[in-house]
Structure 1
Amino acid sequence: MAARTDDNIIRLGRSSRLVVAYKTQGREECGMESQFFEKVQQHEVQISGGSCEVPILYREVFAAGATFVAPTLALKGLLPTSNLVPAELWPGKGLLSFMAFDYRDSSIGPYRELAMAVAVRYRPRFNAPFVPALRMSVSLSFEIFIWQLPLSSDLGLRAGIDIWGFPKFLADIEFSQDDKTVSCALAEEGRPILSLEINKNAAKMKTYFDFVIYSEKDGELLMTRVDGVSSSLGRSFRPG
């Protein structure tokens, strides 16, 4: 999988162009992915305690995730502004996603990350249930607000907070798998926080995807646009 991210502040209209690029499921690239990386140019930005080159390049990534139905009212309590509203699967029920990443080869070194995110819409004229959530799932075109983003890299921590305002904290993230499932365990200073077990699906889909990530930095709402391509994606709409 390869992706590009454009970062800008929605409410103030001030923008800066930052890119993240990554590829999942091993080192073997399809033509679309190799062409994507050829067009990416890195430049240096200052962060706490040093600097970081962006786009950050993720050359080999293993990723697994799951989405759960949750009460809309509870999800609203996680959002920083009323301009963001939970995308509802049906009235009163929204979506909370957990996505675990094992960045095995990146331009800031190998590390792991676990994203906890709410599926949202930004200032929708109408917030009808079901259709927006279904569109996101089927088309792989998402809008999400990052609620928590623990990770195992100090450099990734500083870059994520200083550039995007992501709610990151250092944590231990361990992966394990067998023939049928992939598991991810999250802990902080030896204290277990959560564990995630996901049924394996055949990762054979070659597809483009796009999504918008919202975060908050210094009281301002940030919007990060991501466009990408995957040569080996697996997914299931079945519960469990």
Structure 2
Amino acid sequence: MASHLILGRRVDIPLEIRDATVCSATYLVRADAARAVLAYSGMDVTELMPGKAACTLVFAAYRDSALEAYHEFGVVFLVRPPEAHAPPPRGPLAGVRDMRGAGFGTFVHWLPVDRRLTLEAGRSIWGFPKELADIDVRLDTPYKRCILRKDGRLVIDLLIRPGTPLPGTGPLALEAYAHLDGVTRCVPWSMRPRGIRARPGGALIRLGNHPVAKELSELGLPKRALMTSSISNLSMSVGEARPLPSPLPSPRPPGD
């Protein structure tokens, strides 16, 4: 087991998140616009249909984790993996449904959080593009809501209406990608979702005047969501990041 010292605290890898609630809205956006957004990373989007890529907005309340409790918001794209996949899960992940050979991965473009410990751990251990922001997550009403402000400016106000209950999927093994300080990394992780709901549409968006809001508007938001989902109880295990060789990216960080 690997470990890292973050702000004087030992963080063991794989990192365990024992209880979280996660809500997301996925949108079909122009593939050429998505490629322009991700040009800095050297990654390429997966086209779900000709000329269309998937952008997912996700917010989470982590209640019980090795990084304490915190809130998080993510802008994520479905991408083509740039490398051969790792061997099937072993040890504690044996028996987990392995999605890493499915021909796609998730690229984490922007990942604001509201606590310093998860910020430092996310950037230094995995290379996730975490930034501090004000994140107001409201989960105690039928509509799930996240209001995100950065540097005193509204980025997004996202409202999600939970859909129809779905059967559990069992544990899943996936790969996430992120680019920070000129390095693209692959992060293996597994998830065990319980209390899944999903529906077509089901989201309302209000964009603010922050540069990331402008970037989202260039992707065509706000618009009708392809689908929304919510997971009332999610546990996750996040492994060690692997740096990947990548072509020289264009210097365009999130929101520029």
TM-score interval, smaller chain: 0.5 to 0.7
SS of match in other structure, 2:163: coil
Q: 2:23 aligns with which of 41, 64, 70?
A: 64
Q: Could you say if the C-alpha distance between residues 43 and 203 of structure 1 is closer, same or farther in structure 2, counting changes exceeding 3 Å?
A: farther
Task: Note if contact 1:44-1:51 (Cα within 8 Å) is conserved in structure 2.
Answer: no
Q: Who is 2:59 aligned against?
A: 100
Displacement of 1:63: 0.8
Q: Could you say if the C-alpha distance between residues 153 and 177 of structure 1 is closer, same or farther in structure 2, counting changes exceeding 3 Å?
A: closer
Q: Could you say if the C-alpha distance between residues 205 and 52 of structure 1 is closer, same or farther in structure 2, counting changes exceeding 3 Å?
A: farther
Q: Could you say if the C-alpha distance between residues 59 and 177 of structure 1 is closer, same or farther in structure 2, counting changes exceeding 3 Å?
A: closer
Mapped pair 1:184 → 2:139: no
Matched AA of 1:50: G
Q: 1:146 aligns with which of 105, 108, 119?
A: 108
Deviant stretches of 4+, over 6 Å: none
TM-score by length of 2: 0.64
* Identity value in percent: 27
Task: Note if contact 1:69-1:95 (Cα within 8 Å) is conserved in structure 2.
Answer: yes
Q: Who is 2:96 aligned against?
A: none
Task: Note if contact 1:165-1:216 (Cα within 8 Å) is conserved in structure 2.
Answer: yes
Once residues 234 and 105 of structure 1 are traced to their aligned partners in structure 2, the CA distance between those partners, rounded to angstroms, is 21
Task: Note if contact 1:204-1:231 (Cα within 8 Å) is conserved in structure 2.
Answer: no
CA RMSD of superposed structures (Å)? 2.7
Once residues 185 and 233 of structure 1 are traced to their aligned partners in structure 2, the CA distance between those partners, rounded to angstroms, is 22
Matched AA of 1:225: P
Q: 1:207 aligns with which of 169, 173, 177?
A: 169
Aligned residue pair count: 184
Structure 2 unaligned spans of 5+: 84-101, 202-223, 226-256
Task: Note if contact 1:141-1:211 (Cα within 8 Å) is conserved in structure 2.
Answer: no
Displacement of 1:227: 2.4
Displacement of 1:89: 2.4
Q: 2:4 aligns with which of 45, 64, 69?
A: 45
SS of match in other structure, 1:109: coil
Structure 1 unaligned spans of 5+: 1-41, 125-139
Q: Could you say if the C-alpha distance between residues 186 and 162 of structure 1 is closer, same or farther in structure 2, counting changes exceeding 3 Å?
A: same
Q: How is 1:1-240 mapped onto 2 (pairs within 5 angstroms)?
A: 43-47=2-6, 49-54=7-12, 55-79=14-38, 80-82=40-42, 84-123=43-82, 143-177=105-139, 180-208=142-170, 209-238=172-201, 240=225
Displacement of 1:71: 1.3
